[in-house]
């Protein structure tokens, strides 16, 4: 993206209003859909997150970024201006995850599976074409 940068930017993305912009300078895993009650509450529906190495994250603009402490172990990153959900991160780990819908170009990312299918909402069906990672 930036021809003057000597490191390749693999992914760019951001929130709806632009108060958060990021680059991920490394690989991003396939995304995992989560049907748990917590994710459906936080996102308004099923969530989807794709893991990457947290050291590959470069925040180009972060004045909108707020971290919500979900539990003793995890934080959720969102834009305080427009409400876009962007990141999930364990408090102590080298990986974190991005919501694939916030990527400018997610063409290289696939849906790798789904989890917490037993906790899904009553208002929608499970897609059997997506691998159930709880069963494997
Ligand atoms: Zn925003």
CA of 113 to the centre of ligand 1 (A): 28
pTM above 0.85, yes or no: yes
Q: Residue 105 has what pLDDT?
A: 93
CA of 85 to the centre of ligand 1 (A): 9
CA of 19 to the centre of ligand 1 (A): 5
Rounded average pLDDT per 10-residue block, the chain, 136 residues: 57 98 96 95 95 97 96 94 97 95 93 96 96 88
Q: Residue 135 has what pLDDT?
A: 84
CA of 118 to the centre of ligand 1 (A): 32
Three-state SS annotation for the chain: CCCCCCCCCCEEEECCCCCCEEEECCCEEEEEEECCHHHHHHHCCCEEEEEEEHHHEEEEECCCEEEEECCCCEEEEEECCCCCEEEEEECCCCEEEECHHHECCCCCCCEEEEECHHHCCCCCCCCCCCCEHHHC
Q: Residue 7 has what pLDDT?
A: 56
Structural domains of the chain sorted by starting position, each given as residue range(s) with its CATH number in brackets: 11-122 (2.170.150.70)
Which residues crowd ion ligand 1, with CB under 5 Å? Answer: 15, 17, 19, 64, 79, 81-82
CA of 63 to the centre of ligand 1 (A): 9
């Amino acid at each position: 993206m930036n021809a003057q940068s000597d490191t390749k930017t693999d992914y760019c993305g951001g929130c709806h209003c632009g108060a958060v912009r990021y680059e991920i300078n490394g690989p991003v895993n396939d995304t995992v859909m989560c049907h748990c009650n917590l994710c459906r509450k936080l996102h308004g529906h099923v969530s989807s997150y794709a893991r990457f190495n947290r050291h590959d994250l470069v925040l180009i603009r972060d004045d909108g970024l707020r971290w919500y402490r979900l539990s003793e172990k995890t934080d959720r990153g969102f834009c305080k201006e427009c409400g876009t959900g962007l990141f999930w991160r364990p408090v102590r780990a080298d990986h974190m995850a991005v919501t694939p819908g916030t990527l400018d170009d997610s063409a290289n990312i696939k849906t790798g599976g789904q989890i917490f299918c037993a906790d899904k909402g009553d208002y929608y069906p499970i897609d059997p074409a997506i691998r159930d990672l709880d069963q494997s």
